[in-house]
A and B are shown apart, each in its own frame.
Chain A
Amino acid sequence: MNHDPTHVREDDEAEFRDPVEALGEELLERRRRGEQVTTDEYARAHPELADQIRLQFPVMIALEKFKENTLSATADPYDIEIDTPQELGDYHIIREIGRGAMGVVYEAEQQSLQRRVAVKVFPRQTLREARKLERFSRESKTAARLHHNNIVPVFGVGHHAGLHYFVMQRIDGIGLDEIIEQAKAQPQRDVSADDTHAWRLGSGSTADSGSNRSVRRARWFSHREGHLPDVAAEPESKAVDPGLGLEITSSFRRAANIGVQVADAIHYAHSQGVLHRDIKPSNLMIDPNGTVWVTDFGLATALQQDPSVDRNDIAGTLRFMAPEQLGGKHDTRSDLYSLGVTLYELITLQPAFVAGSKAAVVDRILRGEFQKPRDVRPRIPRDLEAIVLKAMALQPEQRYANGRELADDLTRFIKGRPVRARRIGGLGRMVRWARRDPLAASLVGTLAIVIGTSFVLVSSKWREAVEERHRAENNLIVALESMDQILGRFTSSWMARPTDLEPGPDDPAPGELQLLVSDHNASLMEDAIRFYDRFAVDNAPSPRLQRDTARVHKRAGDIYQRLGKYGKAERAYVRCLQILDQQDSGDDTSLVLIKAKVLNQLGLVKHATSRFVEAEQQFLKARDVLIAQVHPDQSSCQAELARTFSNLGQSQWLMFHHEDAKRSHRKAVSILETLVDREPNHLSYQLALARAYRAYYPFASDRNSDERTHVKSAGIAILDALVLEHPQVPDYQCELAEMLTATIRRSRRSDDAQEQIAQLQRGIKIARDLSDAYPAIPRYKVTLADALKTMGDLVDRSDSDAAISHLNEAVAIYRSLTSNFPDVPAYHFLCAMALREHAQTLFRIERFGESKASAEQAVEDLEAYTRLRSGNRMAWNMLARLHDQVAEASMAMHEADAAEAAWGNARQIREKWNLQWGL
Chain B
Amino acid sequence: MPGSGFNEELVERLRSGEEHAFVELFSIHRERLKRMLEFRMDRRLRGREDASDILQEVYIDAHQRMRHYLQRPQLSFYVWLRQLTTQRLIDVHRRHLKAEMRDIKQEVGINRQLLAATSASMALQLASALASPSQLAMHAELVLQIERALEGMDEIDREVIALRHFEELRNSEVAEVLGLKDAAASNRYMRALSRLREVLQEIPGFLDES
Contact = CB atoms under 8 A, between A and B. Distances in A.
A21 B189 contact: yes
A886 B180 CA distance: 56
Interface stretch (B85-93, B107-115, B161-169): B161-169
Contacts of A812: 103
A379 to B, nearest CB: 30
Given A11-B187, A56-B190, A520-B56, A456 B63 contact: yes
A456 B23 CA distance: 10
A17 B30 contact: no
A457 B55 CA distance: 15
Interface string B191-209: 1011111101000001111
Contacts of B183: 14-17
Interface string B89-103: 000000100110011
Contact of B193 (A56, A310, A523): A56
B26 interface: yes
Contact of B27 (A14, A68, A359, A456): A359
Given A14-B183, A454-B23, A819-B99, A60 B30 contact: no
A66 B207 contact: no
A14 B187 contact: yes
Interface in A11-45: 11-18, 20-22, 25, 28-29, 32-33, 38-39
A847 to B, nearest CB: 18
Interface in A442-476: 452-457, 460-461
A362 B27 contact: yes
Given A39-B209, A58-B207, A7 B181 contact: no
B147 interface: no
A135 B54 CA distance: 35
A1 interface: yes
Nearest to B63: A456
A59 interface: yes
Contacts of B200: 59, 62
A457 B166 CA distance: 30
A360 B187 contact: no
A21 B191 CA distance: 10
B129 A55 contact: no
A147 B90 CA distance: 58
B126 A32 contact: no
A65 interface: yes
A3 B191 CA distance: 7
A655 interface: no
Contacts of B129: 65-69, 71
A7 B23 contact: no
Interface in A788-820: 812, 815-816, 819-820
Nearest to B180: A12
A530 interface: no
A452 B27 CA distance: 9
* SS class, residues of chain A in contact with chain B: helix
A39 B3 CA distance: 19
B181 A815 contact: no
A95 interface: no
Contacts of B55: 453
Give the one of B3, B30, B186, B200 with max A CB within 10 A. Answer: B186
A55 B165 contact: no
B180 A520 contact: no
B127 to A, nearest CB: 8
Contacts of A723: none
A726 interface: no
B171 A63 contact: no
Interface string A128-157: 000000000000000000000000000000
Given A56-B193, A63-B126, A454-B23, A17 B154 contact: no
A4 to B, nearest CB: 9
Interface string B117-137: 000000001111110000000
B23 A64 contact: no
A119 B154 CA distance: 56
A360 B27 contact: yes
Interface in A353-375: 355-357, 359-360, 362-363
Contact of A453 (B3, B26, B157, B194): B26
A815 B125 CA distance: 34
B171 A22 contact: yes
B170 interface: yes
5 contacts: A14-B183, A28-B3, A29-B170, A64-B165, A66-B206
Interface of A: 1-3, 5, 7-8, 10-18, 20-22, 25, 28-29, 32-33, 38-39, 55-56, 58-69, 71, 310-312, 355-357, 359-360, 362-363, 452-457, 460-461, 520, 523-524, 812, 815-816, 819-820
User: Which 5 residue pairs are nearest across A and B when measured between Cβ atoms?
Assistant: A359-B27, A1-B194, A819-B99, A11-B187, A17-B186
Given A1-B191, A10-B187, A359-B28, 12 more contacts: A28-B3, A32-B3, A58-B197, A59-B196, A62-B200, A63-B126, A66-B127, A67-B166, A520-B56, A524-B60, A815-B103, A819-B98
